[in-house]
Amino acid sequence: MRIQQQVQLKRFNTLNLDAIASHYVEIKQPEEIVQALDYAEQQQLNVIILSGGSNIMLPQRLNGLVMHMQIQGIASLSEDTQSQQFRVGAGQVWHDFVLWSTAQRCYGLQNLALIPGLVGASPVQNIGAYGVEAGEFIECVEIYDRQQQCFSRLSHVECQFGYRDSIFKQQPNRYIISHVVFRLLKQPQLKINYGDLKTAMGNDLSPENLQAQVIQIRQAKLPDPKEFSNVGSFFKNPLITAQQFATLLAQFPKLPHYPQAQDLVKIAAGWLIEQAGWKGKRLNNVGMFDRQALVLVNYADANLLDVQQTYRAVQQDVYQKFGIHLEPEPVLFNQDGQIQPHQDQCQ
Ligand code: EPU
């Protein structure tokens, strides 16, 4: 384990924000988690867990020890007639694992192809796309529990998965994920009802074609972080009550919506942003993407303040037009490496 100082994190966050970490260490083995935590305690440093950097916003200076999770490896665990379990290191690239699982004829994750980031981040915000969420296939998550000071595992139920939500979001400083255990299906049960997916698949209803179509749709709509710095969807799709929704729909009959449990309705933030005039619009060098208004892009050398200026302007305009507050999806860190709640409600 080698602790480095004054490390530039620009290439480790897909928004490409300039951010210097006072201390930085790569974690390649679970034991190094404990060694790094001991070092942080001795030096009185806050700890910041960095994964693929595809869902974070960093300030220009980050005082603390950045632990960059790079534990590798995929191991087959038990199997039965219907399913097979895999234990995957937190540092494996998510998309590569999805492709690998399909090649092994193990199914479930095909709708989640091409999502940027690493496997260790998948349970944190319960990544989801095209009608599937990663949590559906997560059997348990292996963690280091900073409160109990021991390695342990959290079952699927204990993870408390919800829409872009889990216990890891609820208690952000407590658990450090080392591995994720997935249970994948031997017989595919395809979910192809989302949007144009069914049409795109044509007559070939195989999981391989599903994966290929998801990749094609994402490539057509979403910017490649290598070309345009972004963190995927920048805002969550708002969940509102059926009553609020009825009022809104009377005024905006075309509002795309998806009924949820508990009398809630999810509405499309991308549509709200487009209607508020932000699709393809920029403020300085930060703007909302012209093919998917939900994606915020850093077009050139923006820092956190530039990003905040743009997203707050978007929130303001959407609030004025629809009375809906958009909540950012990426995790925001302050200078001391602490996660900041997104509390900037519009008035
Ligand atoms: N829409 C617009 N204008 C836009 C964008 C979207 O009118 O600029 C409308 C679309 O026409 C559609 C609706 O909004 O009726 C939903 O759009 P889309 O299918 O593109 O999905 P989304 O709700 O914008 C969510 C996820 C994506 C995921 C897609 C597909 C969230 C916050 N985002 O986006 O996830 O890929 O569904 O399942 O839930 C991500 O989290 O980074 C991500 C890309």
What is the reported pLDDT for 341? 84
166 C-alpha to ligand 1 centroid (Å): 21
Q: Is the pLDDT of residue 347 over 60?
A: no
Q: Is 289 in the pocket of ligand 1 (CB under 6 A)?
A: no
Write the pLDDT tens digit of every residue in 184-196. Answer: 999 999 999 888 8
The pLDDT of 318-331, averaged and rounded, is 97
The pLDDT of 267-294, averaged and rounded, is 97
**What is the rounded CA–CA span in Å between residue 87 and residue 209?**
25
Give the CATH class of 4-69.
Answer: alpha beta
The residues near 98 (Cβ < 8 Å, ≥ 6 apart) are 109, 110, 112, 113, 114, 115, 211
**What is the rounded CA–CA span in Å between residue 295 and residue 171?**
26
- Tell me which architecture the domain covering 223-332 has in CATH: Alpha-Beta Complex (3.90)
**pTM, two decimal places:** 0.92
Tokens of 115: 């999502």
The pLDDT of 57-64, averaged and rounded, is 97
300 C-alpha to ligand 1 centroid (Å): 24
- Active-site positions read 164, 233, 329
36 C-alpha to ligand 1 centroid (Å): 38
Q: Is the pLDDT of residue 24 over 80?
A: yes
Domain parsing of the chain, residue ranges: 4-69, 74-214, 223-332
Tokens of 145: 């529990």
Q: Is 271 in the pocket of ligand 1 (CB under 6 A)?
A: yes
Q: What is the DSSP letter of 71?
A: -
Contact 112, 134 (CB under 8 A): yes
Q: Decide which of 3.40.50.1820, 3.30.465.10, 3.40.50.720, 3.40.630.30 is the CATH code for 74-214.
A: 3.30.465.10
Q: Is 268 in the pocket of ligand 1 (CB under 6 A)?
A: yes
Q: Is 113 in the pocket of ligand 1 (CB under 6 A)?
A: no
